[in-house]
Structures are given as structure tokens and as C-alpha cells.
Amino acid sequence: MTGGSRGIGRAIVIDLAAAGADVAFTYHRNTEKAQEVVDRVNGIGRRSLAFQADVADFTKAQQVVEQVIAAWGRLDILVNNAGIHQNEVIWAMDEAQWDRVLDVDLKGAFNYIGAVAPIFRRQRAGKIINIASIHGLRGRQAGSNYSAAKAGVIGLTKSVARDLGPCGVNVNAVAPGIIETDMIRALSRELKDRFVAEIVLGRMGRPEDVAYLVTFLCSDQARHITGEVIKIDGGQYI
């Protein structure tokens, strides 16, 4: 999976391991945090590999997937979680802010799907889960780059589900609302309060809430679900 050292990604890695999976993941900079996740997975009794990688790097995505196959001989699940945001109103957003968010949040998903697709086609099995956002469904103020990227992830999910469905591969997206992560903690108190006020359940979600859904979609219990975008937002989108 991509982006597995913190927040939602960390929770997904740990929950998949608890469900019996060996989990390889990428991280961007924090080697110490990545090693903590590896140690946690090993403590559960599963294997783990961590790769420092910029998910926007197409060639590196191919290399990471090749290294996982070389180490373990098989790959069954891809979770595209890596994402960033650079908040700015549209009239003040510069090209670099636009490009970087699209490169990580959308192109990163494309890079890793492209790397695993031939493998999943050959073995005629596989699960791909893309972490989108409710803001890819409705738009976000001062976040046109983020909303555009996550809307792209949703379109990518549906198209890839059509491409790989005949090969027995399930492709779905999960669209979280506001979840307690470092990304959310960096927002202003005013913006966080406004988001929470929208949530029917009256609270932010936890990373584990997203992880439980991802693990379900990776299981055989979800074998007849593909091309779906499942919101996990406490009713924020209603």
C-alpha cells in the first residue's frame, strides 16, 4: 500500500496484518515512523516491508512492486492511500500547489495501479482500494486541487473496475469525511469546527474506522463489490 506510516495508512496496515496479511507499504520521509509500523506488524506475527518512495515517481512505483514480488513471490492487494493537501482559494493558488497535489493524490494512484495491473491480470485475482474523499464528490472550499484529485481518483476507480473486472479483480474507492489525522489537525480550528458541525454523528472519524472498511473490501466477503465509492463520514455528506 502507499502511504502506510501514519494516520489512515498506518491503521490500514495494522488492520490488514491483524486479518492475516503480510503488508508492504511506502512512506515519504519519516523512517522512524515507518519502522514503528514494521515492528508493530512483526509483533502481530506477519511480515512487513517499508519502502521510502515519492508515489508521484512512475519508475519508482514499478521498482517497489518488483521488489515486493521478489521478496514474497505474490501480490494480492493494492491500497492507494498516499495523499497531501495544500489549501488555497482558487484565485491565489499557484501552479506548483496544483501540480504537486495532483501528482501525489491522483498520479500516484495511477502509477501503482499501472504497476500491479499486469500481475493481477495474469493471476486473474486481486483487490484494489483507492482512498478518495467526500470532497471529491462535493468539492471543498479552498481546496480545488485536492477535490479535483480525489474526483479523479473516483473516475479512475470506476474505469479500472471496468478494465480489470473481466480478470476477476475488484476495484473500489473509500471516501472518508473528516478523520482525526495529522492532515486534519493542521487545519484551522474554525475549519475543523465547521466540518464537525456537518457530521450527523457529531464527531470526527478515527483512522481505524476507515481501516475496518478497507479490510472488509479486501476480503472474500466483498467479492461481488466493484466500481463502488463508499462514503465513511458519519453522515457528513448527507
Q: What is the mean pLDDT of residues 111-131?
A: 98
The pLDDT tens digits of the residues spanning 18-65 come to 999 999 999 999 999 999 999 999 999 999 999 999 999 999 999 999
Separation CA 137–CA 150 (nearest Å): 8
Q: The C-alpha cell of 125 is what?
A: 485475482
Per residue in 63-98, pLDDT tens?
A: 999 999 999 999 999 999 999 989 899 999 999 999
Check: CB of residue 231 under 8 Å from CB of residue 173. no
Q: Residue 195's pLDDT is what?
A: 86
Indicate the burial class of 71 (C-beta count within 10 angstroms; 0-12, 13-18, 19 or more). Answer: exposed
Q: How far apart are CA 31 and CA 166, in angstroms?
A: 39
The residues annotated as belonging to the active site are 146
Query: For the residues 86-113, what does the mean pLDDT come to?
Result: 97
Residue 79 near residue 48, CB atoms below 8 Å: no
19 within 8 A of 11, measured Cβ to Cβ:
no
Q: Would you mind telling me the total number of residues written for the chain in this entry?
A: 238
For residue 15, CA distances in Å to 23, 24, 97, 201 come to 10, 13, 33, 24
Whether pLDDT at 203 is above 80:
yes
How is 53-100 classified by DSSP, letter by letter? --TT-HHHHHHHHHHHHHHHS---EEEE-------B-TTT--HHHHHH
Domains and CATH numbers, the chain: 7-232 (3.40.50.720)
Q: How far apart are CA 39 and CA 46, in angstroms?
A: 10
pLDDT band at 183 (very low <50, low <70, confident <90, very high): confident
For the beta sheet containing 77-80, the strands, ordered from the edge strand earlier in sequence to the opposite edge, are 77-80, 126-131, 169-176, 229-232
In sequence order, what are the beta bridge partners of 231?
Answer: 175
